[in-house]
Structure 1
């Protein structure tokens, strides 16, 4: 794989930017959501938000035309859950889907859009980043299937950092590190180009500055805004660059063993970075500079210590006996241009270290 870290003479690439409107303003979500729905000439919205997010969603719903509420949201979007949401949309002749929540909520809205073509207005309440991608995912029988489709890209995203003030610090950390994984994976993903890398590097800088502020002052808006900004850049880079080894691993683990999405990404990230970065030293130098560290791995590990990051997959339900089957499933999904060749031996070592929280090497 070519290391695009330095750019320069001989660089040649094709970059496609996804068409999407983004509104970023704290404490203004209700008005902006109503405006974005009106821009689509929609009058029959379906609002997807969990019962736990009802307090956040109510002021936004109050500003909309009469809306259908739907709160059955399940992690990894099981196909039967998606089908019930589609039936609700059809029954009420919905003309726009408004998702208010994290990655699972956005994922369910995407599942509805995938088969109906309905536009989505997304209002993120975590740093998941799904709202800025055209990637969908559905789970059935312990297998998570993902794909790319223009119909699932939200037409508009309303970012309001004040909606994240109630997100608990541990979940904020896991979600922010999930966003950081989008950045890191985008440095060497299958369709990476210099634009993706520029977005990813700036995303790393913003996230590495914002997340410690969130931990230090959970009710401070500045840290939340910086982290949310970084998460958006991460998602845009990821949408263009594609799914690299890190995400292939985490999708397998999530689908097969129902592990929590953000925490799984947060745990696995340093091990994939340690595996790949020696093969792309220029990219590693750019990431190190974004972290403000001597090396990318040192910067990541220092950040993880500062924010008390999730450490081991065994803490989230993965059993040691699950690892061999996971290795088989990941090997079948490894991107062909991963910087470091992936073997059964180094992949099993990676997963065992991630399972027990050992040092990434």
Structure 2
């Protein structure tokens, strides 16, 4: 056994069926009395149910959570939270909503720092991480996404309620699940990799990949949904414990700078990022292949690409509306600042990776 360092994150996790009904007890456990519920415009009904479960502890809903956590949305939500004298935010939804909860915790004053309860309804895994990505407008009026890691944004409580995921559309289930798998994949070759997180990463990959055919056959399959949500926690915990590499850098570039949709972009980039790193991380890629339960002769990268095709998910950046003329700029941004990655970061090779992803070309072995 090689020497390693592992830092466990302080968080309370509640997992099961109908667990969101315990939200009022969790607010009181945190010593709070005034909870604001956060949602996107599309998930107000879910937020209203949680507000009802909060009873007298609920003070209102803010329903304008937005993808990539724009700063101006955060400041607007913070103003509303302050006017309502909220002392805790309850984020109900996916990465956009949970990201807003993190941003409120980060930007609230130390004296009146908002505590956080996250109730995920997708498999993005952001709730399990001390990482926040925010989008700002630079001096040239261009969108720029920045990422930081700080325990100040780690939710105090995560409530996983399998019931809240039963109506998640099958396509969104797949893209969100692949987004989660990306966290686990990169955790395997992170500089801080350790046997605890590596085992959790493989367990998460296996759980989510096994859930796909079950949910495709029956979107409300209890085993499929519970496996997917457990896998999301596993993969999110990996993202929170170790650093990420090329895949996440590319997705943050495409999302923050070019406005690409978060989960779909992760799903499309993942097979190509795995193929890029495969010659320099052969053991880890073989472990991924085994966790995905792929037949001999199908690489991990190919297996991940096939998940897209088998579930009628867009396989190319072109299908998402990305402009071919922006490929070069995206490659340039991706190599601007050094970061750890198994394979050397070469702009021309990354441009080739992005070109393959743009056209939806299945990775070669």
Q: CA deviation at 1:111?
A: 0.5
Residue matched to 2:140:
none
Matches within 5 A, 1:266-345: 266-293=267-294, 294=296, 295-335=299-339, 337-345=340-348
Equivalent residue in structure 1 for 2:61, among 69, 73, 76: 69
DSSP 3-state at the match of 1:204: helix
Whole-Å Cα distance in 1 between the matches of residues 120 and 70 of structure 2? 20
- 1:38 aligned onto 2:34: no
* Corresponding residue for residue 79 of structure 1: 71
- 1:56 matches 2:46: yes
Aligned to 2:126: 130
Q: Which runs of 5+ in 1 are unaligned?
A: 1-7
TM-score w.r.t. the length of structure 2 is 0.92
Return the offset for 1:302: 4.1
Tell me what 2:352 maps to: 349
How far apart are the structure 2 equivalents of 1:190 and 1:244? 10
Report SS of the residue matched to 1:127: coil
TM-score by length of 1: 0.93
The residue that corresponds to 2:14 in the other structure is: 23
Match of 2:245 in 1: 244
Q: CA deviation at 1:341?
A: 0.9
Q: CA deviation at 1:296?
A: 2.3
Deviations 1:11-41 (A, max 9, x none): 11111010000000113312x2122111112
Residues 245 and 334 of structure 1 are in contact (CA less than 8 Å); yes or no, is this contact kept in structure 2?
Answer: no
CA contact (8 A) 2:181 2:204 kept: yes
Alignment coverage as a number of residue pairs: 350
Q: How does 1:30-179 map to 2 (within 5 A)?
A: 30=21, 32-64=22-54, 65-116=57-108, 117-141=113-137, 142-179=143-180
SS of the counterpart of 1:75? coil
Q: Unmatched 5+ residue regions in structure 2?
A: 138-142
**Cα deviations by residue, 1:157-198 (Å, 9 ceiling, x for unpaired):** 000111111211111111111011111111112422222211
User: Contact 2:202–2:291 (CA<8 Å) still a contact in 1?
Assistant: yes
The 8 Å contact of residues 248 and 333 in structure 1, kept in 2 or not, is answered as no
Shift of 1:298: 4.2
Could you tell me how far apart the structure 1 residues matched to 2:19 and 2:286 are? 38
Rate the CA distance shift 1:304–1:213 in 2: closer, same or farther, 3 A: same
